[in-house]
Structure 1
Amino acid sequence: MSRIPSTIIVHGGAGDIPESRVPLKIAGVKRAVRAGFTRLALNGNVLDAVEAAINVMELDAAFNAGYGSVLTSKGEVEQDALIIKGSDLNAGAVGEIKHLLHPISLARVVLEKTPHTFIVGSGAEEIALEQGMTLVSNESLIAPPAREALQSYLNNEAAGTNELGNEKGTVGAVAINEKGEIAAATSTGGITGKLPGRIGDTPIIGGGTFCNDSICGASATGLGEAIMRANLTSRIAHLIENGTPASTAISAGLQFMTDKIPEADGGVIAITKTGEVGFQFNSHRMSWAYVQNNELHYGIEHGEDNIEPL
């Protein structure tokens, strides 16, 4: 059996990303994937790797996670996150988080410190306090682009357009080590203008995030309602399990979703049990980056694959 190269891939969200934000997205996913790979190379811990990568993006206002999360119709941040360990399928998920900079780290606490899988709202934040995490004001999580996006949404609603925001900047990461252990994680602020209390696909296992060492790890971004209804990452994993190459499986899963739900779009990253990397999107753009064999690959446009030394 050939050696599995330690690998990590991240995405910074899909959608109608304007030209002005492209450099910020590219720089952010490159920083994140380097941080994640540094942790992966240090001790091979795949949970550490995906958490570290996502923590970087949760600090970056270019992404819809942590600081910079988009706002509900009432102007508040409400975040969802999920992290999964593929060896035993153990997972931690949180939803409706209003006072944490790093919801992915709280999701890991749920995985490692509780007997539960999915905890939401004040109950999840109480666990954060018990574990020594710092709660912050909701206001401190709001970046200027999020305010602008909500105002644009409200203006469109007043004009009768009433469409949810198009830039789904959800962040995600998947990592595999040389032993074939996989972890996957996703973190998001949701969709601009969502109703308070709405939970998206991100913390739904098999919806926005999937991980099983015998198949693959995957993280999705896009219209959460559609991703959940299509069981997108679970569908993609089933195709990979039956021999479909990773990127082909992702394209097929996205096509299924769009055929059933025409207004839907999005993207997915994945790593298979053999270390094969896959990424595809049917939205306008999706920022992504991965590290494998001492090379850093990245892109945001369709068909793009830029390479530079690690």
Structure 2
Amino acid sequence: MNPVVVVHGGGASNISKDRKECVRQGIMRAATVGYNILKEGGSAVDAVEGAVTVLENDPEFNAGCGSVLNVNGDVEMDASIMNGRDLSTGAVSAVRCIANPIKLARLVMEETSHCFLTDRGATKFAVAMGVPQIPAEKLITERNIKNLEKDKREKGTQKPDGEKNLGTVGAVALDCKGNVAYATSTGGIINKMVGRVGDSPCVGSGGYADNNIGAASTTGHGESILKVNLARLTLFHVEQGKTLEEAATLSLGYMKSRLRGLGGIILVDKTGNWAVKWTSTCMPWAAAKDGKLHCGIERDESTTVDLP
């Protein structure tokens, strides 16, 4: 089986020109790291964790050190990961003071009998597992402080939540043994209530992976994604014989028409086909397969380069 990895950097309504190249380089770097893991014999789970870790460590993306701030100006992060081989999964929500929530989610999957830990319980588990704690301010960027201030000023005049284009990072992969996996991580919504949890840590909404079908990772308005179980809905359409593009179009279209919710999804199936689709203005993405790296940000934009 030829390995494949696809990553996304979240849906967006607008990426400024000065940030666009940084975002493009970040998303390409994440896909390259994930692909190299696969080429070296690593598992799909290794690849999606590796790719998402790159994005969590990049302040251009709404995850890890680039996470947006809640109403109190704090970072609360969510993440999940799933192994399509045995449907094992791990998730965390409302976690603070760690650099890489996706690594903690994997520890939940592999070191506990549970699927999901939250808040203080997740923090206690992280300490028990030796996950380094970092000062809260290390996760806060000047840009996100300004974005929180702007959102508070504009509250009541902005678009409804279902029309917001919101950020998440994620990855899906197929390894050489035919196993698939997904990983999704986010800082959530700017100016969110304390304790708010969106779709990203919720299996079936923020992502899903099953070797019999494929893997998906989503981004967009979390409440809308939760209501339609976007990831599992899309893979259901694949099970019914739709192509990946058709399945993504159907599920995203349903979410938009039913709830006015915008979002995006990346997919890989059990044979190595992949697809990216979104209804927001743009979505940074990259895919690596057969020694080629494909990437784009705007609609109808795609470039391809050879990987080393």
TM-score (norm 2): 0.96
One-letter code aligned to 1:229: K
Tell me how far 1:99 sits from its aligned partner. Answer: 1.1
8 Å contact from structure 1 (residues 299, 306) kept in 2:
yes
Alignment partners' CA distance in 2, 1:105 and 1:171: 14
**Match in the other structure for 1:69:** 67
Matched, 1:14 2:11: yes
Runs of 4+ aligned structure 1 residues displaced above 2 Å come to 17-21, 159-167
Tell me how far 1:303 sits from its aligned partner. Answer: 1.5
Tell me how far 1:304 sits from its aligned partner. Answer: 1.6
Tell me how far 1:7 sits from its aligned partner. Answer: 0.4
Point out the more displaced range, 35-44 or 245-254. 35-44
**Match in the other structure for 1:229:** 227
Alignment partners' CA distance in 2, 1:17 and 1:309: 28
Alignment partners' CA distance in 2, 1:308 and 1:211: 28
**Match in the other structure for 1:104:** 102
Tell me how far 1:18 sits from its aligned partner. Answer: 2.3
**Match in the other structure for 2:215:** 217
8 Å contact from structure 1 (residues 90, 111) kept in 2:
yes
1:293–1:152: structure 2 CA closer, same or farther, 3 Å change rule?
Answer: same
One-letter code aligned to 2:89: A
Alignment partners' CA distance in 2, 1:55 and 1:177: 18
**Match in the other structure for 1:95:** 93
Alignment partners' CA distance in 1, 2:182 and 2:254: 23
Matched, 1:284 2:287: no
Q: What percent identity do the matched residue pairs reach? A: 37
Tell me how far 1:178 sits from its aligned partner. Answer: 2.0
**Match in the other structure for 2:47:** 49
- Cα shift readout 1:191-221 (whole Å, capped 9, x = no counterpart): 1011010000001111111110000100000
One-letter code aligned to 1:282: T
8 Å contact from structure 1 (residues 153, 162) kept in 2:
no
1:70–1:167: structure 2 CA closer, same or farther, 3 Å change rule?
Answer: farther
SS class of match (2:235) = helix
One-letter code aligned to 1:98: R
Alignment partners' CA distance in 2, 1:95 and 1:182: 23
Tell me how far 1:169 sits from its aligned partner. Answer: 2.1
Tell me how far 1:167 sits from its aligned partner. Answer: 4.7
Alignment partners' CA distance in 1, 2:45 and 2:280: 28
8 Å contact from structure 1 (residues 15, 265) kept in 2:
no
Alignment partners' CA distance in 1, 2:249 and 2:16: 24
Decide which of 28, 48, 57 is 1:30's aligned counterpart. Answer: 28
Matched, 1:252 2:256: no
Alignment partners' CA distance in 2, 1:284 and 1:116: 37
Alignment partners' CA distance in 2, 1:208 and 1:160: 28
Matched, 1:5 2:20: no
Matched, 1:154 2:178: no
Alignment partners' CA distance in 1, 2:180 and 2:222: 23
How many pairs are equivalent? Answer: 305
Alignment partners' CA distance in 1, 2:291 and 2:77: 33
Tell me how far 1:19 sits from its aligned partner. Answer: 2.8
**Match in the other structure for 2:84:** 86
Alignment partners' CA distance in 1, 2:256 and 2:271: 29
One-letter code aligned to 2:11: A
Decide which of 115, 119, 122 is 2:120's aligned counterpart. Answer: 122
- Cα shift readout 1:163-192 (whole Å, capped 9, x = no counterpart): 559452210000101221001000000010
